[in-house]
Amino acid sequence: MARAKIIYVCTECGGQSTKWQGQCLHCQAWNTLVESAQEVRAPGRYAPLNETRPVQMLGDVRAETIRRMSSGLSEFDRVLGGGFVPGGVVLLGGDPGIGKSTLLLQALAQVSQQHPVLYVSGEESPEQVAARAQRLKIDCRKVALLSEIQLEKIQQAIQTHRPELVVIDSIQTLYSTAFESAPGSVSQVRECAAQLTRLAKNAGPVLVLVGHVTKEGALAGPRVLEHMVDTVLYFEGENSSRFRLVRATKNRFGAVNELGVFAMMETGLREVLNPSALFLSHYETPVPGSCITVTLEGTRPLVVEIQALLDVMQMGVPKRLSVGLEQNRLALLLAVLHRHAGISCADQDVFVNAVSGVRIAEPAADLAVLLAVVSSLRGRPLPEKWVVFGEVGLAGEVRPVQRGQERLKEAAKLGFTHALIPKANKPRSPVEGIQVHGIEQVGEAVNRIFQGPDVPVFRTGRQS
C-alpha cells in the first residue's frame, strides 16, 4: 500500500487542509485541525449493497406508520420518542464509567426476549461482559456477543446473523482495513460510522453507537458523526450522585431535549418514574432563598427547586454565580429587579443553584429566580405549597410560557396548593387542587409574596 500523505482534518466539519492553520477554511472554527493521514480507499468501497432504487415522485410515496421496538425501559423509550425505529441509528455519549454499557446491556436483555440482538464489544472481552451481566443479575442468555474491532468482520456478522438491534461499544475502538490510521482517528471514526449507518439503512437493523466524550462534555471525534445519525443522546450524572439522566439533543423520530431519569443501584440502573420528587428538598420548616418552579424537559414537566443565597460583598466587585442556570441571565434579572421593583443587590454577592444538578435552559424559571433572591435578601421564606413560573422581560413584565396548564397539573399532583404565574397563562377553567394567581409585573409578584411591614410595596416603575 502506498505511503499515506499527512493532511489536517477539522474535527467540526471534516474539512481537509494540506497544512495546519488556526482557523478551518470550511466552517471557520478555530483550533479544530488535527493531523491525520490521507489514504487511498479500496476500489468499489462504496458500491451499492443492493439494486439502485428508481427515482420517485414524493406524492407517490406511501407513508407508513413507523413500527417501533420497545427497549423494555420506559424512561429510555421516552427519550427515544417511543422506542427504537427499524433502520434508525442512535449515538449515545457520556463520561467514562457513567453507565452507558450497563444501560444498553439491560436494554438488550429485554429486547432479546422477542427479537434477535447483537452486542459488539470493542473494549471488553466476552468474559468481562459476562461478569458484568452476572453481577447485575441480568438474563443475557439470548444476547449474541461479538468481541471485535475490525469493521469488515462486524459487517459480515451483521449480514450473517441478521439481528434487529445492534450495539457497537464503542465507535472509537473500531478500525477499517481500508485505512492505515489508528482506531479513534478522525478518518477511522468517520469511515466506520458511515459504513455502519449505510448498512443499517439498507439491512434494517437498529444501530446503537456508543461514543466517548471530551473533557468539555462534547462527543469525541469529528462533528460530522452527529450529522450521520438519527438520534443523539447524552448520558449525564454527577459522580457524587446515584441519579443518571439520559437527554436527547437530536431526534429525527421524536422530541428533542427529552429527559429520562435513572438511579444507579447495585443491580444496575432503575427507572425513576416520578423524577420531580428528586429535585425537591424536604424541610421541616420553610427556609429563605428557596422557590419552587416547574420547568419543561422535552414534553415532560419537572418540578424543580431554585435556591438563592445573598451575602454582603466581600471584595470590590460583587459576585454573580449560578449553577444549572445561565449566568448572564442572572445578571440581567438582577438589573430588572432593581429597575422595576426597586430592590438593589449591588452590595451583595449572589449565588443561585438548581437543586440536584438539573440544568434549566428555558426562561420559565426567571420569576422563581427573582423571588428566591428577594427571599434570601429579606430573610423571609416563601409561603408553603407555592409554585412559581414565568419569563421576565426587560420592561419588568412577566411573560407567558408554553404549556402552562400541564405545569400546573404536575404541581397539583405533588401537593402544591397555590401557583403564581403569568396572567396570560391563567387557565379559563380552574385546575383541581391548586389556586392560580396571575400577575403581569415583577413588582406585583414581589408584593403578592412578600407583603408585610418590613417589605416596601411597589406599585409600578422604579423606586423613588
Quote helix, strand, coil % in the chain, to nearest 5. Answer: 30, 25, 45
* CB proximity list for 316: less than 8 A, separation 6 or greater: none
Class level of CATH domain 70-273: alpha beta
> How do residues 287-335 score in pLDDT, each as one tens digit?
899 999 999 887 788 899 999 999 998 878 899 999 989 889 999 999 9
> How do residues 276-289 score in pLDDT, each as one tens digit?
776 676 666 788 99
> How do residues 42-58 score in pLDDT, each as one tens digit?
555 554 545 566 888 98
d(CA 262, CA 104): 13
Give the strand order in the sheet containing 231-236. Answer: 143-146, 117-121, 165-169, 206-211, 89-94, 231-236, 243-251, 259-265, 268-271
Mean pLDDT in residue range 397-424: 92
In percent, the amount of the chain with pLDDT more than 90 equals 50
> How do residues 103-130 score in pLDDT, each as one tens digit?
999 999 999 999 999 999 998 999 999 9
pTM: 0.72
Domain definitions of the chain by residue range: 5-38, 70-273, 278-450
Residue type present at position 40: V
Report the Cα–Cα distance between both ends of the chain, in Å, rounded: 81
Mark residue 385 as left, alpha or beta (left: phi above 0; alpha: psi -120 to 50; beta: remaining): left
Looking at the chain, how many residues does it have? Answer: 464
* CB proximity list for 409: less than 8 A, separation 6 or greater: 301, 431
d(CA 309, CA 319): 11
Position 459 confidence tier, pLDDT thresholds 50, 70, 90 = very low
Report whether pLDDT(101) > 50.
Answer: yes
- The per-residue pLDDT of the chain, averaged, comes to 85
* CB proximity list for 149: less than 8 A, separation 6 or greater: 122, 173, 174, 175, 183
Of all helices (H) and strands (E), which one includes residue 367? helix 366-378
d(CA 127, CA 119): 13
> How do residues 9-68 score in pLDDT, each as one tens digit?
787 777 778 888 888 887 888 888 877 766 555 555 554 545 566 888 988 888 777 789
> How do residues 184-228 score in pLDDT, each as one tens digit?
877 788 889 999 999 998 878 999 999 887 766 666 666 778 888
d(CA 334, CA 350): 9
* CB proximity list for 10: less than 8 A, separation 6 or greater: 16, 17, 24, 26, 27, 29, 32, 33, 222
> What pLDDT sits at residue 386?
93
DSSP 8-class letter at 74: H
Domain 278-450 has CATH 3.30.230.10: yes
DSSP 8-class letter at 23: B
List the beta bridge partners of residue 236. Answer: 245
